Every structure is written in C-alpha cells, then in structure tokens.
Structure 1
Amino acid sequence: MKGLFSALLVPFNENGELIEQGLREIVRQNIEVQKVDGLYVNGSSGENFMLSTEQKKQIFRIVSEENNGAVKLIAQVGSVNLNEAVELGQYATELGYDSLSAVTPFYYKFTFEEIKSYYETIIEATGNNMIIYAIPFLTGVSMSMAQFDELFQNEKVIGVKYTDGNFYLLERLRKRYPDKLIYSGFDEMLIYGAISGVDGAIGSTYNINGQRARQIWDLCQEGKITEAYEVQHVTNDLIEKVLDLGLYQTLKEVLNVKGYQAGTVKKPMASMDESKKAAVAQLVKDFNL
C-alpha cells in the first residue's frame, strides 16, 4: 500500500452522466503511462460530493473491473450521510478494494467523539481497513495529536491521507506511528512529505504528471534532494498554470488533448471556457505531458 496513488479523475458529459469508456481509459493511462502504484477512487478529484450513491457505486465497479488487480485500490466512501458511507464501504469491500478511506464528516460542527464513532461504524460494518482522510482546509476539521492517538488505537485504522500544511504534526505522527501509513496529499509539497518520511502520496495532478511525481519520490528516496527540488520546481510551475486555468477542468482538458475521453466537470462546476483550450494545448507541449 506504499507509493504514489492518483486521486482519480472521473469523466462526465454535459448532462452530468458518467462516460464509462472514458473512465476506463483514464484508469489505463494512470497505470500504463503515469505508472502509479494505486488509485484513490471517489475522492475530491472524482467530484464525489456531487454524485448520487448509484453513480459512486458505478465508478467503484468500473474501476475495479478495468484495474483487474494491476494496482492497489483505495475507496473513498466518506459522506455526511453515515448510512451512505456504510453502504458504499460494504460495496467497495465486496469488490475487493484494498482499503477504505473516509473524509472526516463536515459542514456540521461534529464533536471528536462523533467523528470517532463515524469511523468505528464504517469499520465495524465493513470489516475493511480504513485510511483517515484529513483535509482541514475543505472540511474545517483539524485533528490534534491526541485525537489521532485515539483513532490509531483501532488496528483497522491503518493510516491517514494527510492533506495539511502542518509539518510539525506530520513529523510527530511519523515518529510516533512508524507502522501506520501516511500519505502526503498536497501535490505541490510532495518533496516535503517525501523528506519527512511519508509512505506515499495521493494527488490529482498525478493523472497527468505522475511521471514527474515519481522522479521527485525516487530522488528523495535516494537522498538526491537538490535534484528532487529541480523537478518539484517544474511541477509547481505546471500546477500554478493549471490552477490559473481551473483545476479539474484543466486536468480533464489535458487528457482530452491527449486523446482520452475525459469529458467535462459536473455541474454546478463550470465547463472549461473555450477561450482557454488553446492555452491548455500549449501547456501539454510546454511541459511534455
């Protein structure tokens, strides 16, 4: 379960319907072109929180079929609706996903005891492993060391997707829990996670820039930090341009330019402005994507 995981993009048509063949193509290119070690399915990059339960199940099934055991699969099943999270967790477990993951419940100001109960309920109902998805800048939920201590007491909680800029807490977690999996969640800070001893990383830009992410990762493992920084600089130049043009719209348009059926984003997100498509095509050339 160590290594680099793409936070999988999901293609939709203008009516918000899943493009099945496009999803299969994106899965294959992540495995065969980007050379990732695994796929993180139905996370933020998959526009998960705008999907119906049935759409989420459809995505889990198609990805499992297309992957066919090639790489590790993590199913993000988190939801403010706990019954849905359990249903999705059971379904992904039946499909053979290697682990579940769940974002901390958000919007309402849940207490830590409520958050802990949420994870315990999903684990008990599925019997599967759980990777906590900590992303405080989107959920508003920041967990302390003492709270991670409580969650990690459950042997089924095998790790955390750590999308947080608090590198002091990351260092403390790494030292105290050498046997738990810690995944870095910020693509633009991969190098800092790597030199802090994380076990891997999960990123949306790996769908198009996985090869550079692999270079950064491998160089850090070899202690070649100066060289790794050079690749991170290029990666961050790319990320800046992607963010300027629109994150998910641009990632999908890059894949469209390269001949994959990546479709568009799901409303209420706005489709890519036609005037920006030439800039995306130039991005593909400039960064040899």
Structure 2
Amino acid sequence: MEKIKGLIVAPFTAFGKDLEINLSPISDYAKMLKKNGLKGVFINGSSGEGYMLNVDERKKLAEEWMKFADEDFKVIVHVGSTTLKDAVELAKHAQEIKAFGTGAMAPPFPKIGRIQELFDYCKAIADAAPEIPFYYYHIPVFNGAYLPMLDFLKKVNGEIPNFAGIKYTYENLYEFNQCSLYENGKFQMLHGQDETLLAGLALSDVKGGISGTANYTGKGLIEVLNYWENKDLNQARAAQNYNQAVINVIVKYGGNIVGGKRIMKLMGLDLGKNRIPFKNLTDAEESQLKKDLEEIDFFNHCNEL
C-alpha cells in the first residue's frame, strides 16, 4: 500500500456570510497549497468543522477538492460521523469520486471506550470503500477515545485489509514510535501534532504527516523536514521553534480552528467565519492577532498565495 510522503494539510471549510458552504475559494486554496510544497488535503476533519456539516455539504466539498487532485496532491476524505450510516455513505462516495483514501476519528458521542468498539466502527467504514486506503484519526482530546493504539493495530492487522495507518494527533511519542515499529512498519504513522514534528522525526522514521497549521506555516514545517533530512539539526530546531511561536499566538485566539482560519484572511484568502458554537473573533481581536503575528515577522514566513 502506498505510503504518504511529505505533509498533507487539514484545510478549513469556507463559509459565506450566511454560513453556508462556499466552494469558490477552493481553487485558489489548492493552488496556494501546491505552490508551497504541500502534498494534499485531509478534508472535513476537525479543522474543516466536519462534524458541523451535513452529508450533502461534505459530499460537495469532496467533489470540489477532487477537481484539484493529481498524482502529487492527494485528497483524503474524513468520513467519521456520530451516525455510522452517514459515515458509510460518505466512504462509498469517496471511493466513487476516486479519492486517495478515507479517514475517521472516533465519534464524540457515544464515547468509545473499548478496542472492540473502535474496531467495529472502523471496519464498517473501511469495508464500505474497500478499494482505497483507510486511516484512523487518533485525536483523543476531541472524543475521549484514550485507547492504546498498539493494541488497536494488533486488532486490525489482517482483519481490515485496506487499513493503511493512523493520523496520530496526541502527545505520546513513545506510543507513536511503538506503533511505527509494529510489524516492521506495516502501518504508516502520520504525524499529526505540528509542535512536536521534529521530536517525531528524531524518534521515528516519519515519512508523512497531516497538519493543521500547515495551512499557513507549511513552508516552515517543510523546512523542518528538509533540514532534518540534511542533518542540519540547528536549522531544524529553529524552524520547529518558529512553528511553536506561531502556535503560541493562535492559542490566544481560539486555536487553529478559529484563530488559524482568521489568519488565512489576513494572508489574503478569506474563508469566512466559523459555525456556531465556535466563538468568532471580533474585529478588535483580529486587529490584535495581526499585531501579534507581525511581532514574530509572520507575514515574511507564512505560505505564499
């Protein structure tokens, strides 16, 4: 099964003034990501407010993003839902439109508390699109599914033929590495915590990742990868530390989903506001966000439109 190389972006979903989905920015969005060296998108996930979209909206977004898919730019569709029937429908659709793969996080309700429960959920989704890879999205802070991922890999091994790996967004780099080593690296562990990318590279043979902050700091994260590959640890640290400096700013403004989306507007790609219940930034907060970013010279380091 093909393994992902480089960084895949978890894009935001654009909304119009009526908070209905807006497909028109996707063309420029895709061009910008490609220009800055990003290798694809993982759509309709947490950054994309996927759980706040209905099935029809999620399908339309997937179809639009697929217009810009190519050999070097993959589209993975997050299909997870609190309704398994919807997740299965979305997985079938992703295969029909020839997406590279599907992914799903554990639903936030009902809370999954056992490996068998998670296995049953993932198998039903993966089986609905058997011709394309399936990735489990491990983000327990979102859904409370604090389950041992090594045990999960042992459970899926040989039971879900198209299981490709895990998008791992959690702090436990020991577990991340143990999963990477399982069965001689049979399953790809996609690094999902941007602020520890360099640590992941040092500990494991990371080839790919799925990133939220790469929407606007993709160039810098790619520098982390390149400097590490070239054995320039000091420059790799500097690039990683800069990414952390950006994260230190966005955590003051609602984190990546809210603050990051507003950063895209400040860069020149207006993707609209967030859906309720997210608290959108006021104009005054946006102005202060811009000042905070200017203090770290962000606009000379961010992705180029």
After TM superposition, the score normalised by the length of structure 1 is: 0.94
Aligned-partner Cα distance in 1 for 2:99–2:292: 34
Please report how far the alpha carbon of residue 140 of structure 1 lies from its aligned counterpart in structure 2 after TM superposition.
0.9
Aligned-partner Cα distance in 1 for 2:108–2:22: 29
Return 5+ residue gaps in structure 2 as ranges: none
Aligned letter for 1:17? E
Partner of 1:203: 211
Once the two structures are superposed, the pairs formed by residues 196-275 of structure 1 within 5 Å of their partners are 196-247=204-255, 248-275=257-284
Match of 2:15 among 7, 12, 15: 12
Aligned-partner Cα distance in 2 for 1:105–1:259: 34
After TM superposition, the score normalised by the length of structure 2 is: 0.89
Give the secondary-structure state (helix, strand or coil) at the position aligned to 2:7.
strand
Matched, 1:104 2:106: yes
Aligned-partner Cα distance in 2 for 1:271–1:8: 18
Aligned-partner Cα distance in 1 for 2:206–2:10: 17
Partner of 2:167: 161
User: Mean Cα displacement is larger for which, 150-159 or 74-83?
Assistant: 150-159
Cα pair 1:28 1:67 within 8 Å, conserved: no
Cα pair 2:198 2:240 within 8 Å, conserved: yes
Q: Percent identical across equivalent pairs? A: 24
Match of 1:31 among 31, 34, 42: 34
Give the secondary-structure state (helix, strand or coil) at the position aligned to 1:40.
strand
Aligned letter for 2:289? V
Aligned-partner Cα distance in 2 for 1:92–1:202: 18
Cα pair 2:11 2:47 within 8 Å, conserved: yes
Aligned letter for 1:161? K
Match of 1:143 among 147, 150, 153: 147
Partner of 2:43: 41
Aligned residue pairs: how many? 288
Match of 1:173 among 172, 179, 190: 179
Give the secondary-structure state (helix, strand or coil) at the position aligned to 1:233.
helix
Partner of 1:88: 90
Aligned letter for 2:275? K
Please report how far the alpha carbon of residue 70 of structure 1 lies from its aligned counterpart in structure 2 after TM superposition.
4.8
CA RMSD of aligned residues (A): 1.7
Partner of 1:191: 198
Aligned letter for 1:235? N
Aligned-partner Cα distance in 1 for 2:235–2:133: 36
Matched, 1:114 2:114: no
What CA deviation, in whole Å up to 9, does each residue of 1:242-284 have, x standing for no partner?
A: 1112222322222222222311111221222110222333355
Please report how far the alpha carbon of residue 220 of structure 1 lies from its aligned counterpart in structure 2 after TM superposition.
1.6
User: Mean Cα displacement is larger for which, 16-25 or 76-85?
Assistant: 16-25
Please report how far the alpha carbon of residue 146 of structure 1 lies from its aligned counterpart in structure 2 after TM superposition.
2.1
Please report how far the alpha carbon of residue 199 of structure 1 lies from its aligned counterpart in structure 2 after TM superposition.
2.3
Return 5+ residue gaps in structure 1 as ranges: none
Aligned letter for 1:133? Y
Cα pair 2:249 2:289 within 8 Å, conserved: no
Give the secondary-structure state (helix, strand or coil) at the position aligned to 1:272.
coil
Aligned-partner Cα distance in 2 for 1:15–1:172: 46
Aligned letter for 1:183? L
What CA deviation, in whole Å up to 9, does each residue of 1:125-153 have, x standing for no partner?
A: 22132111111111111222222211233
